[in-house]
Chain A
Amino acid sequence: MFLHLMVLNIKARMQYGRSFIYDMFTQIMVYVFEILIVWILLSRFELPGGWGFNEVLFLFGLGYFARAVECAFVWDPMLKMSDYVKEGTLDKFLTAPVNTFVYLIGTDFSVWPLAHVFFSLIVTIFAGGSIGVTWTAANIFWVSLAAIGGAFIYTAFIILGGALAFWIIKSQVLIWMFVDTISLINYPVSIYPKAIQYILSYVIPIALANYFPTVFILNKGNINSLSMTLIFLVGFLLFCISYRFWWFGLKRYQSAGN
């Protein structure tokens, strides 16, 4: 059913062929400008720890991959959760004999972030090439594992934000706040004060999505393949928790009403 919904959404988007292409183009331009800002900054200032432009670009690509995957699947529905709760539009999903969560996120599946997914992959691979990463099977496997883990982590936090709509109606603010915080990982977390490093690694462990895999692939520190597995597991676990939390919120909505 989820695949069916995905196909329907893509088909729906294609109905506006030209606007679809403009959409993709705008998204990629946004992306290009963000990279440009990184480039300008890095050509003026030097980062400690031997982080050059290409290294940061690699980091950037991985971070964007996590974000793009999250955007495709849960961004729209979770941002809309507030409206769903406020207007009672969840009824449609609750009266269908299928998994409510899957039906909801399938219905709101977004097509435009797919441009980000592809573009971030290209950027990552290109940046990897220019810093001399050798793409052995093992390297590809470990980085992919961590990248998927990172996407899970990102997704989990957006779902948590969306689920909060069951308690506080205006939960979008929290989601936007989270996204703003996350732009910190466009740079290696090692440049930040210890406290922020700590937060980004353990509290909102979004640095797991790009910083640690980059350190791993560049052999910059004490990070091994076990860490990559751990990132995946942490991501998966967080995702499961957020998923449960969403259902918990739904239960509350059903018994309290609105």
Chain B
Amino acid sequence: MEIIRVENLGKTYKIQKNNQGFIKSFTSLIKKEWEQKVALDNINFTINKGDIVGYIGPNGAGKSTTIKILAGILHPSVGQVLVNGIVPYKERIKNARRIALVTGQRTNLFWDLPIIDTFNLMKRVYKIPQDKFKKNLDMLTDIIGVGEFINTPARQLSLGQRMRADIVAVMLHDPDIVYLDEPTIGLDVVAKDSVRNFFKAINEQKNTTIILTSHDLEDIERLCNRVIVIDNGKLVYSGDIKHLMSQYGNEICTLCITVEDDTEDFEIDGCDIERNLNKLKLKFNRNSATPPVILNRLLERGIKVVDFTLNEPCLEDTIKVIYGSKEVGEPIHK
């Protein structure tokens, strides 16, 4: 079932031109120069109920802008957005009852008060009936384990504990959709894991739709069944992770070899070689060459390999390829 529909979405910011030079900075006081910055350009996608979607792109690609529009905080310049059958920025309050927004770098907790006080406030803000509140709090506490510090003021919590408490605070009203903006930023490995497991569990138990932006691609790989990639305000890819990898990632495999010191420079067909003293990086396309073939070639030439490792493509490399492709002006595939 479709829960989010985004059509021809575009957002243009009007920003003041940054004048360089001393005199210009004065003239700009009188006559301001504006320029249009396109943050989003003709974005289209739909998201089904129960999906966990990774929304990825480099800094400034337009991820936060999209999330803000979906959450009803910002109005788009052009296009249409439907969330749960309503237009979020027109019926912000109605939309707010059914969503949750978690931002990794910020906290909604009362700094000086035990976190249970914030939970009670949420109960009032979202008008959660007592029995539902009790049930949800018990369930959430169970999964993510905030029980032991529920009476501790937020300021005394570690970042991981605070994040968990923040997550509980926004999940108490059973949102249909959760927007996670960098939920694991700054967390240690264990805390990251517990956050990921939590959302996985919530998704399974309540069929909650989750939209996740993160620069930690492990978050995406572990959680998401679908990714949407945007770059420079444009949609680059929308589909499952495996397909994304085969579309971009297969092209780069890296074979790192260490050879004996006196080896001379050489070339191998279909291989891009970077040499740093006796360490070589051979980058090649999986479709045109395989590691055994390359190793055979090396042996044929009598090159003595001391050591080697093979790096298979991972999502991170794939994303690097996508981000990088715009710089060299390659056409963007869809």
Contact = CB atoms under 8 A, between A and B. Distances in A.
Given A12-B111, A254-B74, A257-B74, A98 B125 contact: yes
A110 to B, nearest CB: 13
Given A91-B71, A95-B72, A11 B106 contact: no
B5 interface: no
Interface stretch (A1-9, A40-48, A140-148): A1-9
Interface string B24-51: 0000000000000001000000000000
Contacts of B99: 95
B96 A95 contact: yes
A257 B89 CA distance: 13
A55 to B, nearest CB: 43
Interface string B59-89: 0000001001001111100000000000001
Nearest to A89: B106
B126 A95 contact: no
A76 to B, nearest CB: 14
B103 interface: yes
A97 B71 contact: no
Contact of A12 (B72, B93, B96, B110): B110
B101 A91 contact: yes
Contacts of B14: 256
A103 B125 contact: yes
Contacts of A5: 121
A94 interface: yes
A92 B106 contact: yes
Nearest to A95: B101
Nearest to A14: B112
B331 to A, nearest CB: 30
Nearest to A103: B125
B103 A91 contact: yes
B208 to A, nearest CB: 16
Interface of A: 1, 4-5, 8, 11-13, 15-16, 89-92, 94-98, 103, 254-257
Interface of B: 11, 13-14, 39, 65, 68, 71-75, 89, 92-94, 96-97, 99-101, 103, 106, 108, 110-113, 117, 120-121, 124-127, 153
25 contacts: A1-B124, A12-B110, A12-B111, A12-B112, A12-B113, A15-B112, A91-B68, A91-B73, A91-B103, A92-B106, A94-B71, A94-B72, A94-B73, A94-B96, A95-B99, A95-B100, A96-B96, A97-B96, A97-B97, A98-B125, A254-B89, A257-B11, A257-B13, A257-B39, A257-B68
